[in-house]
A and B are shown apart, each in its own frame.
Chain A
Amino acid sequence: AQSVTQLDSHVSVSEGTPVLLRCNYSSSYSPSLFWYVQHPNKGLQLLLKYTSAATLVKGINGFEAEFKKSETSFHLTKPSAHMSDAAEYFCVVSDRGGGADGLTFGKGTHLIIQP
């Protein structure tokens, strides 16, 4: 069975400072991991994904995430926050044992950017 834990429901940072959104997962297989962003009143947009290639994954809008198997983590980072980054972020895990419905979503982290 797979699971995802987003360790913070809310994260608040000042504009121009680094962003860290934490995600831990469990999986019986080598998983694929995804980060999605949801801006207010919008659908979910893929930020980046890991599929067993390079462990450091670069995404859109300056975000990146590092897959750490030993820590079962896939934390999302950005060096310098922008006001437009204010949104809800979801970590998602998928593995070969899950089937067509085998994507597990985290509960989400609400990112607040202070001016």
Chain B
Amino acid sequence: NAGVTQTPKFRVLKTGQSMTLLCAQDMNHEYMYWYRQDPGMGLRLIHYSVGEGTTAKGEVPDGYNVSRLKKQNFLLGLESAAPSQTSVYFCASRQQGWMETQYFGPGTRLLVL
């Protein structure tokens, strides 16, 4: 039982390049989330999903796209990376229900030059 895993752990991009971050969970959770963490700003929600085939915007969705083609995977895409997207990205999942615990992946550190 690996929990929540993220690929890659670290990446350097040039401005304008694209990439996809992969999140996988093996807990059969309905809900999945992508956050970004920046110094002094806590965690901010980018996009989330309440089930396979569904996605929704969070607090800071601009510049990102997501897909949830399989229940266990949640992909975060950057079509044209910008330096402002330099951040640490965390994926999380939880079971349906407002009392349920959110489980986090180890993070992906992204540097956009």
Residues of A within 8 A of B (CB): 32, 34, 36, 41-46, 49, 51-52, 90, 92, 94-96, 98, 100-103, 105-108
Across-interface contacts of A94 in B (CB, < 8 A): 98-99
Let me know if B42 and A49 touch, CB within 8 A.
Answer: no
Let me know if A98 and B98 touch, CB within 8 A.
Answer: yes
Tell which of B13-21, B65-73, B78-86, B103-111 binds the partner.
Answer: B103-111
CA distance A41 to B107 in the complex (A): 8
Which 7 pairs across A and B sit closest by C-beta, in order of nearness? A43-B104, A44-B104, A107-B42, A43-B106, A51-B99, A100-B50, A32-B99
Let me know if A101 and B45 touch, CB within 8 A.
Answer: yes
Q: List 10 A-B contacts (CB under 8 A).
A: A36-B104, A42-B106, A43-B90, A43-B107, A44-B104, A45-B104, A90-B43, A101-B45, A103-B102, A108-B42
Let me know if A107 and B99 touch, CB within 8 A.
Answer: no
In this complex, the member of B45, B48, B98, B106 whose beta carbon has the largest number of chain A beta carbons within 10 angstroms is B98
Q: Bin chain B's interface residue count.
A: 20 to 34
Let me know if A43 and B105 touch, CB within 8 A.
Answer: yes
Nearest-neighbor residue (CB-CB) of A32 within chain B: B99
Nearest-neighbor residue (CB-CB) of B45 within chain A: A101
Across-interface contacts of B102 in A (CB, < 8 A): 34, 46, 92, 103
Tell me the B7-60 residues at the A interface (CB within 8 Å).
31, 33, 40-43, 45, 48, 50, 56, 58
